[in-house]
Amino acid sequence: MKRAGNRRGQATALTILTPVRPRWHLWLRAWFALARVLPLQRWTLLRLQRIHFARFALVSRLDGRRLHSRHLLFESNFNGNWHSYLEAFCQVFPKGMWGLWGSAWGWPGVAPVKGFKDWVERNEFEASHYWSAYPEATTRDILAALDTEPRIRALAQAAPDMDPERFEAAWADLVSAAVRAP
Amino acid sequence: MVAPVLEGQEQELEDTLLALPAGTQSPLEGVDGLHFARWVIVPHLEYGAEPQPRDRLERQLLVFTCTFDGTLDRHVGELLAGLGQTADDVWRHCDGWPGRANARAWLLDHRVRTGLFVAAYPKATREEVRGALAAREKLLNLAEDTQHGDPQGKRRDFLERFASST
Amino acid sequence: MVWGFGAQQSAYMFVHFDDGPALMGELAGRVATAKFLPEQSAIVNVALSGAGLLELGVCRDEFPGELMDGMRVRAEMLGDTGPSRPEKWDPGFAAAGTHAVVTVSGKDDQAFKQLAAETRTLLGPQLVGEQAASMLGGNREHFGFADGLSQPSIEGLGPDTPGQGVPTKKGWRPLKAGEFVLGYEDEDGVRPPAPEYPLDRNATYMVLRKLYQDVAGFRRFLFDHEGADEAKQSELASKIVGRRHDGTSLLLDPEAPEQNDFRFGGDPEGMRCPLGAHVRRSNPRDALGFGARLSSRHRIIRRGMPYGEPLPGGETVDDGADRGLIFVCFCASIERQYEVVQTQWCNDGDAFGLGREPDLLLGGDGSARMTLPGNPPRFVRRKKPFVLTRGGEYLYVPSLSGLRALAGT
């Protein structure tokens, strides 16, 4: 309800900028490099199946000059409301949160969730314009669709040569697979 | 990317952005290969906690983030081509904007490198996503419509709708 | 109000203040308290709307935004659109500007009628509307299903029945009281946000809704899909609800003694209890993944009651009578608990991998499809809703000391 500018159909934007404690930027850079090679942390994040895309970026210069602290910019495109998204993160991804946002001056930790939500609220900025290429689709819709589409093509190719019984069975399998959430 | 907003122009910039039509009427709709995008104004920095040395922004910041297909180089070209006049309408409020005809270098210059990128569907292009969504919806509607029909009818209806996808 | 009272009848009396504090003072002498509850045959309770609280002089900022906004303002977000929109609501039920709802409930017919009459006299001209409700036989609701069987187990309050709390590795544990009552620790390990003392403890928030049920429409739907075969009709209805008519779970043997002791983990594709079935949506247990961590903060206590005369059995033509459910639930945060269940689990299907499919029984405001998993899956479609919202409000239920404070004593 609060941040109408951050919603577009099923998608919600979250943009956070936080000051990074001294030397923690080195830890973050190492973390980023590691995560590029080992997909572990991303995998946990993605298991929630609510994020389309998200990114972390370390900013050294703002407004053309170095500030006292580097800043961590986070932007995410996700589904569902702000409250349940942040709660879900605290519930299932606490270590990752510490690893990334633990770098921030004033980091409150993930428990209680209320403290974390208040901290996010203080550090987030509302989008003045937010756009999505497919606003009515959730991450799950898309994952299901990307899984289904090649199956449709496969059946379309094989169907002309199938007898009705075989087609019926293949059709049942296709619809079952299409309905199943990935 | 992040760029400072010229002093005195903050309100006009915000008004410009808020006035942009939403959804399919948005100027971003015309940018090829774009999945998500946003403009965010950062008016000040939030202070963390003691003993953090205080930082103060002298000017507000305009942040633009987006997720796109293909290379950065190609994307910047698509962005400028797709936005057209809007690129000038928005970014002329930022320091040093050279006009959209010469903006490529400026945009790249103000870019912040991504440290960690998380993608639920890293390989699918925008067209692939849209195409897959439409195909699945068509399939489920067909499944509902034909569920009581005979196998021959089902096969005929299926090929009628999906044969061209081979 | 958190204790189950076992009422057979209720009257919801809608109040517009002439002298709010005086009325609160009068009611403070009469409202039910937990200590004396088991002895009483009829009780009265009071809950206040955001408008009512302002009339009593509280500071707006102390209370949650959704309470102060009121349900009407949030109707679109809640899915009360189309035929369920506020413009179509019953003007006699919690009309705009209602300050308080006084609920009289009774186990015994005579005691109830007497207390209701006394309460009406007490309220005098401040009583601006009333809604009656009464239990139907067999604890059923108007579609014919046994209701109210599944309620959260709360630490320190009442028995801990397997299946009512949070699923754990070994079994179940009760939920923290702070999920439902202000002033106690909640599942987040802290006391939930609350107004200033003494309104901050032993109080709760209440969601009140009048839900009209199109019984004839539901019966016709079953005929359209299964013909006159009663067994098949019953099976389809059970799939939509997620329990059989007698309340037994689709995941358990009908003879099993503990009909709430089940999880959905053993039925991940919804072959036995469909992914979008009503009970699976309103209390997903472990169905959202990650144990029950994604559902344990969104539980509600339900204390509703049917209203209106039943439609005679077998009748598929609507008689124009008003009947349905007076939905009442309690929680410590309307936004985090009730509204998440309503908007994300009932009106939408994404949490269950069902896209935009709403709860076929009571979600959505128009035509809707439900996927019944299988190979191949089956699709059933309703042309219009079976349940319409006819009114509602968000309310704050004070403790006895809170009530006295609001009376100014």
pLDDT at C172 over 70: yes
- Cβ distance B136 to A126 less than 8 Å, yes or no, reads no
- pLDDT tens profile A92-111: 888 888 888 889 999 999 88
pLDDT at B4 over 60: yes
pLDDT at C3: 63
pLDDT at C171: 83
- Cβ distance A19 to B52 less than 8 Å, yes or no, reads yes
pLDDT at C319 over 60: yes
- Cβ distance B143 to C369 less than 8 Å, yes or no, reads no
- pLDDT tens profile C269-293: 999 999 999 999 998 988 887 778 8
- pLDDT tens profile C243-278: 999 888 898 888 887 788 888 888 989 999 999 999
- Give C290's contacts in chain A (Cβ within 8 Å): 91-92
In a domain, C4, yes or no: no
Residues C59 and C181 in one domain: yes
pLDDT at A3: 63
Round to whole Å and give the CA distance between C44 and C187: 30
Closest chain A residue by Cα to residue B137: A145
Q: Which of residues 122-161 of B touch A (CB under 8 A)?
A: 124, 126, 128-133, 135-136, 139-140, 143, 150-152, 154-155, 158-159
Closest CA to C24 of C408, C407, C392, C409: C407
Closest chain C residue by Cα to residue B145: C379
Q: Which CATH number fits domain A4-125: 3.30.1330, 3.30.70, 1.10.150, 1.20.144?
A: 3.30.70
pLDDT at A83: 83
* Distances, alpha carbon B104 to alpha carbons B79, B81, B109, C212, C328, in Å: 10, 11, 9, 60, 59
DSSP reduced 3-state for B29: helix
pLDDT at A1: 37
DSSP state of A20: B
- Cβ distance B147 to C379 less than 8 Å, yes or no, reads yes
Residues C386 and C397 in one domain: no
A139, A50 contact by CB (below 8 A): yes
Touching C (3+ Cβ pairs <8 A), the chains are A, B
- pLDDT tens profile C64-95: 999 999 999 999 999 999 999 999 999 999 99
ipTM above 0.90, yes or no: yes
pLDDT at A53: 94
For residues A113-136, give the mean pLDDT.
93
Round to whole Å and give the CA distance between B143 and C378: 9
pLDDT at A40 over 70: no
- Decide if B147 touches C, using CB distance below 8 A: yes
Residues C280 and C384 in one domain: yes
- Cβ distance C350 to A138 less than 8 Å, yes or no, reads yes
- Give C369's contacts in chain B (Cβ within 8 Å): 144
The amino acid sitting at B162 is F
Tell me how many helices (H) and strands (E) chain B has: 6, 4
pLDDT grade for A130, boundaries at 50, 70 and 90? very high
In a domain, C247, yes or no: yes
Closest CA to A175 of B138, B97, C70, C200: B138
In a domain, C160, yes or no: yes
- pLDDT tens profile B113-127: 999 898 999 999 999
Domain borders along chain A are 4-125, 139-180
Residues C82 and C206 in one domain: yes
In a domain, C129, yes or no: yes
Round to whole Å and give the CA distance between B112 and B2: 7
Residues C250 and C182 in one domain: no
- pLDDT tens profile B49-82: 888 888 888 899 999 999 999 999 999 999 999 9
- Sheet architecture: strand order including B34-42: A127-132, B34-42, B61-68, B2-4
- Cβ distance C376 to A171 less than 8 Å, yes or no, reads yes
User: Which residues are registered as beta bridge partners of C12?
Assistant: C103, C131
pLDDT at B3: 93
- pLDDT tens profile C106-146: 999 999 999 999 999 999 999 999 999 999 988 899 999 99
In a domain, C2, yes or no: no
Residues C247 and C112 in one domain: no
The amino acid sitting at A55 is R
pLDDT at B164: 67
Residues C197 and C318 in one domain: no
Round to whole Å and give the CA distance between C84 and B154: 37
Closest chain A residue by Cα to residue B27: A131
Contacts of C236 (CB under 8 A, 6+ apart): C222, C225, C226, C380
- Domain containing C403 equals 9-210+393-407
Round to whole Å and give the CA distance between A139 and C353: 10
pLDDT at B166: 47
For chain B, the straight-line distance linking the first and the last C-alpha, in angstroms and rounded, comes to 40
The total number of structural domains that make up chain C? 2
Round to whole Å and give the CA distance between C157 and C3: 8
Least confident of C45-59, C183-197, C308-322: C183-197
Task: Using a pLDDT cut of 70, give the percent of chain B over it.
Answer: 98
Where do the H-state alpha helices sit in chain B? Answer: 10-19, 72-83, 85-91, 103-109, 126-146, 151-162
- pLDDT tens profile C209-228: 999 999 999 999 999 999 99
Closest CA to B100 of B31, B37, B33: B31
- Give B148's contacts in chain C (Cβ within 8 Å): none
DSSP state of C211: E
Contacts of C240 (CB under 8 A, 6+ apart): C274, C277, C278, C360, C361, C370, C380
Residues C93 and C182 in one domain: yes
pTM for the model stands at 0.91
In a domain, C81, yes or no: yes
- Decide if C327 touches A, using CB distance below 8 A: no
pLDDT at C35: 67
Residues C134 and C196 in one domain: yes
Cβ atoms within 10 Å of C117's Cβ, excluding its own: 12
Residues C217 and C146 in one domain: no
Cis status, amide bond into A150, omega within 30 of 0: no
Contacts of B9 (CB under 8 A, 6+ apart): B93
- Give C377's contacts in chain B (Cβ within 8 Å): 143
Residues C363 and C397 in one domain: no
- Decide if C201 touches B, using CB distance below 8 A: no
In a domain, C56, yes or no: yes
The overall average pLDDT reported for chain A is: 88
Residues C194 and C225 in one domain: no
The overall average pLDDT reported for chain C is: 91
- Cβ distance B133 to A134 less than 8 Å, yes or no, reads yes
pLDDT at A90: 86
In a domain, C3, yes or no: no
pLDDT at C397: 95
Round to whole Å and give the CA distance between C130 and C153: 32
pLDDT at C409: 64
pLDDT at A45: 73
Please give, rounded to a whole number of angstroms, the shortest distance from the CA of B144 to a CA of chain C. 6
Nearest CB partner across the interface for A79, out of C294, C350, C354: C350
Closest chain B residue by Cα to residue C379: B144
pLDDT at C4 over 80: no
